């Protein structure tokens, strides 16, 4: 059987009608291949054949189920920094609680124990990671688990403190009393 057809069948089975986001390593495991130039070329062939999309380096979205869903950006963020602690904060949290004007729905700001980096995901949106050196003990009182996005989220007060600490633009932040009476 053609290896690309086999890959497509396996992805259909795994997706079960949902969007399916995979790291390059996941695809190699699924194919029973080691990371090699031949394996990477196989993934290029899968992209050219339209089986998967490659919105950013090492991240693949199964094309047959690539209808972008509300949590796709969060799921990609978790894949991009899977070995690190991540939580939604900064402009994303402040926008969602009404403290700043709405951010585009296709952009999220995530604090991470990994390195700072911005990923522009072709046809999907933007994930902006900002590094934090804070320990889990220091962060825990300021975070809540958001089951809808399957990620921790900073409290609005903490997101504002972090926005100031990392030197972001505060011009769009509404004053607390203005927010309360709006």
Lookup: tokens for 124: 């999907």
| Whether residues 100 and 176 fall in one domain | yes
pLDDT at residue 159, rounded to an integer: 96
Using the 3D structure, point to which of 44, 65, 86 is the last residue of a domain.
65
| Whether residues 90 and 163 fall in one domain | yes
| Whether residues 169 and 81 fall in one domain | yes
Lookup: tokens for 181: 């009476």
Lookup: tokens for 103: 């951010």
Place of tokens 């490659």: 54
| Whether residues 60 and 95 fall in one domain | no
Q: How many CB atoms lie within 10 A of CB 87?
A: 22
pLDDT at residue 176, rounded to an integer: 65
How does pLDDT run across 141-166, given as a tens digit for each residue? 999 999 999 999 999 999 999 999 99
Highest average pLDDT, of 8-22, 130-144, 163-177, comes from: 130-144
Instruction: Kindly report the average pLDDT of the chain as a whole number.
Output: 88
> Is it the case that residue 178 has pLDDT exceeding 80?
no
Number of domains in the chain: 2
Domain containing residue 24: 3-65
**pLDDT confidence tier of residue 181, bands split at 50, 70 and 90:** very low
| Whether residues 134 and 77 fall in one domain | yes
Distance of CA 124 to the CA centre of its chain: 10
21-23 and 52-56: which strand pairing? unpaired
């Amino acid at each position: 059987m053609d290896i690309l057809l086999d890959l497509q069948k396996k992805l259909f089975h795994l997706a079960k009608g949902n969007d399916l986001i995979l790291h390059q390593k996941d695809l190699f495991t699924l194919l029973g291949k080691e990371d090699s130039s031949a394996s990477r070329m196989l993934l290029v062939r899968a992209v050219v054949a339209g089986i998967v999309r490659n919105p950013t380096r090492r991240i693949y979205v199964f094309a047959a189920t690539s209808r972008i869903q509300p949590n796709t950006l969060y799921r990609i963020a978790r894949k991009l920094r899977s070995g690190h602690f991540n939580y939604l904060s900064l402009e994303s949290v402040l926008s969602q609680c009404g403290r700043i004007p709405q951010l585009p729905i296709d952009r999220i700001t995530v604090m991470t124990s990994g390195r700072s980096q911005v990923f522009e995901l072709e046809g999907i949106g933007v994930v902006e990671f900002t590094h934090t050196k804070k320990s889990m003990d220091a962060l825990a009182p300021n975070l809540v688990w958001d089951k809808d996005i399957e990620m921790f989220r900073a409290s609005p007060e903490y997101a504002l403190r972090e926005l100031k600490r990392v030197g972001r633009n505060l011009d769009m932040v509404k004053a607390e009393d203005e927010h309360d009476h709006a």
